Amino acid sequence: MDLRFGDSKPTDEERAAVDALLGPPESSWEGADRTDADLRWARGGREARDRRDLLLPGLHAVNDRVGWISEGALDYLCRRLTVPPAEAYGVATFYSMFSVRPRPATVLHVCTDLACTAAGARDLCAGVEARLGPESGVRVERGPCLGLCERAPATLAIRAGKPPALPAAGDDPARPAIEDEAVRAEGGSGGTAPGAGKGQERRGRNTLRATAVCAPATADTAVRAATAPESAATEPPPAAAVPQAGDPALILLARIGTTDPASLDDYRAHGGYTALRRAFELGPAGVIREVTDSGLLGRGGAAFPTGRKWQATAAQPDHPHHLVCNADESEPGTFKDRVLMEGDPYALVEAMTIAAYATGAHKGHLYLRGEYPRATHRMRHAIEQARTRGLLGDDVLGQGYAFDIEIRRGAGAYVCGEETALFNSIEGYRGEPRSKPPFPVEKGLFGKPTVENNVETLVNVLPILTLGAPAYAATGTKASTGPKLYCVSGSVARPGVYELPFGATLGELLALAGVRDGLRAVLLGGAAGGFVRPDELDIPLTFEGTRAAGTTLGSGVVMAFDDTVPLPRLLLRIAEFFRDESCGQCVPCRVGTVRQEEALHRIVERAGAAAADDIVLLREVGRAMRDASICGLGQTAWNAVESAIDRLGAYE
């Protein structure tokens, strides 16, 4: 097969970045200098093709080192992996965090999504752009939600360059400044995971030189974060995002603010790894039975019974089985998984180990949002410490069970929150959803049985095993059991992540957060959710309660908007978000999201009969997207706009 490589050559920096991940090339067929032996036979093609899943880490490696991906760098990476350059180009251009055109080494991402828009993101952008001219060496990019909605408006500065020598990781409480001095995110995996699977060997790692998260941001603080020689910007501790921190009634958030997130010993002193020991006592079937009896439903929005998913995966005769943790929360207004990973990372490591043990998996993939540098660092540190202490590896807790976790960084694609799109992304393809069936429990990651859960769902497994299924199920309601995390932002005095048992009302949650006067609307479920009126705050926050009220709970987004927020502009931003994030694979979504945005632009500019005609068009387009789109992105792209028209009278 002729892969049609070009004549462009990588720079020394680009070659070093790729080689740090893949190791030096072994022959000219992989990009090394040609020898006489290479003229007689081809070598390494099959092995290289088996590493196709390293394409995304390879793109990260180049982007992190240089700031963009040149034709020469892409060509060299394709030679190393025997990937057609046309396919690799399609992958590189799929993600918003990559660029295939020259750009400065420093990029300042300014969030312009719902919470940040309501908090003045447009004025922030104008101020930043006025201060940062072309000579500053900083590129300003307006983008979707950064997952910092509790501190809106937010910016994220990423500076590419040669990776620094990081201090050795450890549990020394006297060294908490590894994150405070600079938030550093690593690419690649590090370590070798046991068991079958692709892409296990990692010969090196690439590291972002510095990143700076600035939230809430002003034009001055954002500019300082982007132009400092090395970012010294610090984030508040994770407990700052949990207004209930320290409350003894908390279950999922109990350790945030009371436990050092970097210390494995502190985690174990606060009940850590009790659940895993209990899992080994019960055995895989016993763990699945406990999870099933608890009534745990998935917390990502679909609310599928977790026990049924685990049982279906465990029963598959095809091996190996895979576990995937979906930490790519990109729904505007969602940040609970980020808070869990930053404040209680060992809990996720333990929960993933339990899920893998129950379903017969020996390899776990943690697909983590590219916009979460601090969470990436915290999770990597926790995984390395657990591996060092025998809690991951070939013999977990001396039980003869082998399991390890590999981190994969996303690169800015909302659609990768859909499980099959996420699988494609890990495998080195464009993150486009697959048609179902077959379902992931039959053929998922690498075509093998796969169980996929998000962070909050997995962390719920710990109290199920420590408290017991009956005690866990006694919390909440009969159909929605256990505690639930809610991401509250917008026009409230105390935004953040709240933990309440299922069954609490929307009004009770907003009272805890301190809703401001002049409440106009509340958005439940994020951009894919729906609006409710201020007189509907008695809606019970359960899956069944929100359905009965004609809305959705989704992943737990609760965004309050007062009468100072222009609702038409907010709806237009939602339409722009879905147009930008559509993968373009299916016609109803690809065309429908564009037509929806165009109609909302026209409605904003004119009123009367013309606007009424566009509303009729919106309904037709919305029904087509809901009925015919392949995945949930297109199926829900019309929800918020529809609810604003019907429940709020947005254009009356």
Using one digit for the tens of pLDDT, what is the confidence trace for 537-592?
999 999 999 999 999 999 999 999 999 988 999 999 999 999 999 999 999 999 99
Residue 650's pLDDT band (cuts 50, 70, 90): confident
Range in 97-106, 208-217, 440-449 the model is least confident about: 208-217
pLDDT tens for 22-36 read: 999 877 667 776 665
Confidence at residue 196, expressed as pLDDT on a 0 to 100 scale: 37
* 344-362 tens-digit pLDDT: 999 999 999 999 999 999 9
Alpha helices in 167-305 (DSSP H): 177-180, 219-227, 264-269, 274-294
Task: Give the per-residue pLDDT at 38.
Answer: 56
- pLDDT band per the 50, 70, 90 thresholds, residue 187: very low
What pLDDT is recorded for position 486? 98
- Give the pTM: 0.91
- Give, for 451, the enclosing helix (H) or strand (E): strand 450-454
User: What was the pLDDT predicted at 172?
Assistant: 39
Note the pLDDT tens digit of each residue in 286-343: 999 999 999 999 998 889 999 999 999 999 999 999 999 999 999 999 999 999 999 9
In the predicted structure, residue 209 carries a pLDDT above the cut 70:
no
What percent of the chain clears pLDDT 90, i.e. is strictly above it?
Answer: 78
Cα distance between residue 466 and residue 248, in whole Å: 16
pLDDT of residue 605: 80
Domains of the chain: 12-92 (no CATH), 238-471 (3.40.50.11540), 483-562 (3.10.20.600), 567-647 (1.20.1440.230)
Report which of 303, 296, 308 is spatially closest to residue 252, judged by C-alpha positions: 296
Q: What is the pLDDT of residues 501-548, one digit of tens each?
A: 999 999 999 999 999 899 999 999 999 999 999 999 999 999 999 999
- Predicted confidence band of residue 179 (pLDDT cuts 50, 70, 90): very low
Two tokens at 406? 């590999």
Task: Identify the residue with better confidence: 335 or 180.
Answer: 335
Q: What is the pLDDT of residue 165?
A: 54
pLDDT score recorded for residue 170 = 42
Beta carbons within 8 Å of 62's beta carbon, 6+ residues apart: 14, 17, 18, 69, 70, 73, 74, 77
Tens of pLDDT along 380-415?
A: 999 999 999 999 999 999 999 999 999 999 999 999
Predicted local distance difference test score (pLDDT) of residue 297:
97
* pLDDT computed for residue 176 by the predictor: 30
pLDDT confidence of residue 39: 57
Nearest by Cα to 550 from 524, 573, 570: 524
Statement: residue 207 has pLDDT above 70: no
Beta-strand ranges (E) seen in 317-383 are: 321-327, 361-368
Tokens 């992540």 sit on residue: 497
pLDDT bin (cut points 50, 70, 90) of residue 237 is confident
Instruction: Please name the helix (run of DSSP H) or strand (run of DSSP E) that holds residue 521, with its range, or none.
Output: strand 519-524
Most confidently modeled range among 106-115, 282-291, 643-652: 282-291
pLDDT in tens, 256-278: 999 999 999 999 999 999 999 99
Range from 163-167, 251-255, 402-406, 432-436 carrying the lowest mean pLDDT: 163-167
Judged against a pLDDT cut of 90, whether residue 3 lies above it is answered with: no
Higher pLDDT, 458 or 611: 458
pLDDT at 201: 37
* pLDDT at residue 259, rounded to an integer: 96
Q: For the beta carbon of residue 641, count every other beta carbon within 10 angstroms.
A: 26
Tell me the average pLDDT of the chain: 89
- For residue range 51-90, list pLDDT tens digits in order: 899 999 999 999 999 999 999 999 999 999 989 999 999 9
CA-to-CA dists, residue 193 to 7, 97, 450, angstroms: 36, 28, 17
Is the confidence at residue 462, as pLDDT, over 70?
yes
Name the DSSP class of 341. Answer: H
- The per-residue pLDDT for 174 is 32
Q: Residue 469 above 60 pLDDT?
A: yes
